[in-house]
Amino acid sequence: MLTNHNLYKVIKNYMDYFRIRTSNKITFELLGDTHVEAKLNIPLFDWIIENLLKNG
């Protein structure tokens, strides 16, 4: 189900989760508008972010 979410917060939450599961040699930086909202399915969007981070 798609519901409105703050895109920055959703990505930051997943990055925080992913950060503790990776090497300390990897740094993460999130830049962008902190007020953008989008209709998202959080589990599917998290899966997309995970794939981007793993393959980036």
pLDDT tens-digit map of 1-54: 899 999 999 999 999 999 999 999 999 999 999 999 999 999 999 999 999 988
Q: What is the pLDDT of residue 49?
A: 92
* Distance from C-alpha of 53 to C-alpha of 1, rounded to nearest angstrom: 24
**What local confidence, expressed as pLDDT, does residue 54 receive?**
87
Neighbours of 1 (CB within 10 A): 6
Whose CA is closest to 14, among 41, 55, 49? 49
- Directed axis angle between helix 7-19 and helix 42-55, to 10°? 50
pLDDT at position 34: 97
Length of the chain: 56
Looking at residue 56, its pLDDT comes to 77
Q: What is the pLDDT of residue 53?
A: 86
